[in-house]
Amino acid sequence: MARIDYSAPATASERTRDLLDKNRNANIFRMMAHSPSYLEQYCRLGGAIRNKGELDPVVRELAITRTGILCEAPYEVAAHKRIGGYVGVTDEQNAALDDWQSATCFDETQRAALAFTDEIVKLHRPTDPTFKAIAAKLTPGALVELQLAVGFYIMTSKFLETFAIDMQPVTDVV
């Protein structure tokens, strides 16, 4: 059960209701709607991370889901396993993310991105060897996008857990 009540879409501004509608009135957005201006900016950056840029969407979703796992945010994990499936993450890959190091279903770029993700979340910055490994696989633009995706979803995971956002049916999770 959420730690505070979700905002009521009926009492929100038209712009906030539009954002909530576009995001299926998912619990995370209903909670965030207590601060309409932050909700709007959050949606803009989240949309850019997921829909713009050059980072391979499979690499992005693997990194985002791994971030949710490391941040112990089940809502985030469920959402991005589903989204990952839409962009080409296999069921085998999603199942292997808890222990990706011993899995054989990831290519070299995906492994480098997952190591990078682990170190950002656990160590707060990647070690030089890990950074060099992923930098050798991605363009500078894609590398920046990967780091920003991990950072954004650390924030998102912490938001979800801080407010104890309730899980939703898988079809409704964003």
Assess if residue 127 is contained within a domain.
yes
| Tokens matching residue 64 | 């985002």
pLDDT digits (tens, 9 = 90+) for 112-165: 999 999 999 999 899 999 999 999 999 999 999 999 999 999 999 999 999 999
* Reported pTM: 0.93
Tell me: do 65 and 136 sit in the same domain: yes
Tell me: do 63 and 104 sit in the same domain: yes
Tell me: do 64 and 138 sit in the same domain: yes
What total of structural domains would you count in the chain? Answer: 2
| Tokens matching residue 89 | 């993450």
- Which of 34, 51, 68 is the last residue in one of the domains? 51
Among 159, 135, 158, smallest CA distance to 146 is for 135
Domain, as residue range, for 26 = 9-51
Assess if residue 35 is contained within a domain.
yes
